């Protein structure tokens, strides 16, 4: 101040006022600078920090996984992921040399979420924001899931094992978890991939249960798996019936002697056969016998030719090659009111068997007389379709007691295989019925059906009778071919 002249400052008081003003300016300028610095958001600094890249999200159960890359910059020390309008965040530290980062965002509502990712240096300077979206799944998705249905679960006694066939898997199915207790009392747990159509449970005890649940993922990139509740399935043992409960038992096996019609006459009475022999005499008898290597015995062969076979030289819109019990038959092979009976036999349809779209009956239970003896009580019939089917049909005495097609399955498993049929019936207007069709080669049950209340009587009837063979419609004749159906080991029992 020694250089200031009296022209600059007239009095000492002027100089004092000058210094006071200068000090005030300095103080004010320092105060404004601190306030401005405090107001700077660390995510909004102008310092250049590289933004993250290669960001992706992966859905989960009430959470989302976020992955990204940071620049290979030693100054970058951490990242943050923000969500819920940047009200919540999670911090991820960076270790030297690691540019691939991830964070799992927990406790999210089941909806789409927006995530903001920043990188930070050691001074708190932030990179530009990078935004991504991800979905969290929860109870809403969980409640849409159902256990994968199964087509059947049967016990195979030869192995022994429980054999399961699965229905089609729903979208998003990852697989199945199956639990059961083996015959050695060891707990077994299996993972079954979604592509599996069948499963075998080794060393299974018949009559026991297995449990299973279905695993789902909402998308292929999901970090979590969703599960249905476990469902318990009982696998019943094969029905064991040596027919010892039946007081009478009439058996008929092919003898190999060649006199087939006489064999049926001896067992079931005269004229037990119904054939197109008269229309097609050049072929000879349409029921014969042949030696079968699979059963290692003689069996009966039933033939049906598309032309010229018909129904006993009468109806030409159908053809019949059948055997039956009827009026001349002994009482032991006919059913009377309230009788309880069993019918057991084996049959084999040829591979590629071609049924009619009308009817192709291979077994019937019919009234032997009365005013309503035309309609069968029970019919087993292959049916043309896409695919072909095997139908079990019930016809009551009236339309009100008729139950119709009570069981329908695909025909393919029955083709080219010997099948053992066991049919049990109580003959009354409130009768009972049980049918088991079992593959002979491995004992697998292909079809079961039972009912505790079926109409099994006819007005004015005195007896009911069984029939076997091939009886088919000639409608859509172009779909048919010459067929041979094999039968063996007929047994008829009565309690």
21: confidence class by pLDDT, cuts 50, 70, 90: very low
- pLDDT for 428 equals 97
**Residue 114 confidence (pLDDT) above 90:** yes
Instruction: Give the integer Cα–Cα distance in Å for 245 and 228.
Output: 45
Q: Quick check: bond before 160 cis, omega within 30?
A: yes
- pLDDT for 158 equals 66
* Strands 173-181 vs 226-227: parallel, antiparallel or unpaired: unpaired
Instruction: Give the integer Cα–Cα distance in Å for 115 and 59.
Output: 13
**Residue 119 confidence (pLDDT) above 70:** yes
Residue range 458-480: mean pLDDT, rounded: 95
Handedness of CA 41, 42, 46, 51 (dihedral sign): negative
Which residues, at least 6 apart from 409, have a Cβ–Cβ distance to it below 8 Å?
Answer: 389, 390, 446, 447
Structure tokens at 261: 């019609």
Residue range 254-266: mean pLDDT, rounded: 95
* Secondary structure of residue 105 in the 3-state scheme: strand
- pLDDT for 9 equals 40
- pLDDT for 426 equals 97
Contact 362, 470 (CB under 8 A): yes
**Residue 382 confidence (pLDDT) above 90:** yes
- pLDDT for 30 equals 42
| Residue 188: Cβ-neighbour burial (10 angstroms; 0-12, 13-18, 19+) | middle
**Residue 19 confidence (pLDDT) above 90:** no
Structure tokens at 137: 């799944």
Using alpha carbons, select from 203, 212, 209 the residue that is nearest to residue 175. 212
Would you kindly state where each structural domain of the chain is located, as residue ranges? 43-137, 145-234, 248-494
- pLDDT for 448 equals 87
* pLDDT tens per residue, range 440-453: 998 888 998 989 99
- Taking all residues of the chain, what is their mean pLDDT, rounded to a whole number? 89
- Write down the architecture of domain 248-494 according to CATH: Sandwich (2.60)
- pLDDT for 42 equals 44
Q: pTM (2 decimals)?
A: 0.58
Contact 57, 68 (CB under 8 A): no
- pLDDT for 245 equals 81
- pLDDT for 405 equals 96
- pLDDT for 156 equals 79
> Which residues partner with 408 through β-bridges?
391
44: confidence class by pLDDT, cuts 50, 70, 90: very low
Query: Exposure pattern of 13-44 as b/e (b: 16+ CB <10 Å)?
Result: eeeeeeeeeeeeeeeeeeeeeeeeeeeeeebe
Strands (E), 297-358: 297-304, 318-324, 340-348
The yes-or-no answer to whether 43-137 and 248-494 have a common fold is no
CA 489 to chain centre: 35
14: confidence class by pLDDT, cuts 50, 70, 90: low
Percentage above 70 pLDDT, the chain: 89
Handedness of CA 341, 344, 350, 351 (dihedral sign): positive
**Residue 101 confidence (pLDDT) above 60:** yes
* pLDDT tens per residue, range 129-162: 999 999 999 999 999 999 999 988 988 776 788 9
Give the DSSP per-residue string, 347-407: EEBPTT----SS-EEEEEEEESSSTT-SS-SEEEEEE-SSS-EEEEEE--SSGGG--EEEE
- pLDDT for 284 equals 96
What's the CATH fold of domain 145-234? Answer: Immunoglobulin-like (2.60.40)
344: confidence class by pLDDT, cuts 50, 70, 90: very high
For the chain, the 3-state helix, strand and coil shares in percent, each to the nearest 5, are 10, 45, 45
* pLDDT tens per residue, range 409-429: 999 999 999 999 999 999 999
Contact 468, 361 (CB under 8 A): no
**Residue 274 confidence (pLDDT) above 90:** yes
- pLDDT for 389 equals 96
Instruction: Give the integer Cα–Cα distance in Å for 60 and 490.
Output: 61
- Cα dihedral 456/302/276/322 (nearest 10): -10
Query: Which class would CATH give 43-137?
Result: mainly beta
**Residue 45 confidence (pLDDT) above 90:** no
CA 464 to chain centre: 40
Instruction: Give the integer Cα–Cα distance in Å for 437 and 410.
Output: 13
- pLDDT for 238 equals 63
- pLDDT for 303 equals 98
Strand order in the sheet with 198-202: 150-156, 161-166, 198-202
Percentage above 90 pLDDT, the chain: 79
């Amino acid at each position: 101040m020694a250089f200031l002249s009296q022209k600059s400052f007239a009095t000492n008081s002027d100089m004092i006022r000058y210094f006071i003003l200068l000090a005030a300016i300095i103080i004010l300028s320092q105060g404004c600078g601190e306030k401005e610095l405090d107001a700077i958001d660390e995510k909004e600094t102008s310092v250049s920090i590289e933004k993250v890249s290669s960001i992706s999200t992966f859905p989960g159960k009430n959470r989302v996984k976020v992955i990204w890359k940071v620049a290979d910059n030693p100054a970058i020390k951490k990242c943050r992921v923000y969500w819920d309008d940047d009200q919540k965040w999670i911090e991820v530290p960076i270790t030297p040399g690691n540019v691939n980062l991830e964070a799992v965002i927990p406790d999210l509502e089941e909806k789409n979420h927006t995530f903001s990712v920043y990188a930070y240096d050691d001074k708190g300077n932030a990179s530009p924001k990078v935004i991504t979206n991800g979905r969290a799944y929860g109870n809403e998705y969980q409640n849409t899931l159902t256990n994968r249905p199964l087509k059947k679960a049967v016990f195979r006694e030869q192995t022994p094992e429980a054999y399961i066939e699965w229905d089609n898997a729903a979208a998003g199915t990852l697989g199945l978890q199956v639990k059961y207790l083996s015959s050695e009392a060891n707990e077994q747990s299996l993972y079954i991939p979604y592509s599996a159509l069948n499963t075998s449970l080794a060393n299974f005890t018949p009559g026991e249960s297995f449990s299973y649940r279905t695993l789902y993922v909402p998308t292929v990139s999901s970090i979590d798996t969703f599960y249905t509740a476990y469902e318990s399935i009982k696998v019943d043992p094969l029905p064991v019936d040596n027919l010892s409960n039946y007081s009478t038992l009439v058996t008929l096996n092919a003898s190999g002697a060649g006199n087939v019609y006489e064999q049926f006459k001896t067992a079931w009475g005269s004229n037990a056969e119904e054939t197109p022999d008269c229309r097609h005499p050049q072929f000879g008898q349409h029921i014969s016998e042949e030696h079968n290597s699979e059963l290692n015995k003689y069996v009966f062969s039933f033939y049906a030719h598309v032309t010229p076979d018909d129904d006993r030289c009468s109806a030409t819109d159908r053809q019949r090659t059948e055997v039956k019990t009827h009026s001349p038959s002994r009482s032991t092979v006919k059913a009377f009111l309230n009788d309880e009976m069993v019918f057991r036999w084996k049959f084999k349809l040829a591979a590629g068997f071609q049924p009619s779209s009308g009817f192709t009956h291979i077994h019937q239970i019919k009234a032997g007389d009365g005013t309503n003896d035309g309609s069968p009580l029970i019919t087993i019939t292959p049916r043309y379709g896409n695919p072909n089917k095997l139908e079990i049909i019930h016809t009551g005495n009236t339309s009100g007691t008729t139950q119709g097609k009570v069981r329908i399955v695909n025909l393919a498993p029955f083709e080219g295989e010997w099948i053992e049929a066991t049919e049990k019936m109580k003959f009354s207007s409130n009768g009972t019925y049980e049918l088991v069709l079992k593959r002979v080669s491995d004992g697998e049950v292909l079809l079961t059906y039972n009912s505790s209340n079926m109409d099994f009587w006819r007005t004015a009837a005195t007896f009911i009778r069984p029939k076997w063979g091939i009886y088919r419609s000639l409608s859509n004749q172009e779909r048919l071919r010459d067929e041979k159906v094999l039968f063996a080991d007929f047994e008829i029992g009565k309690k």
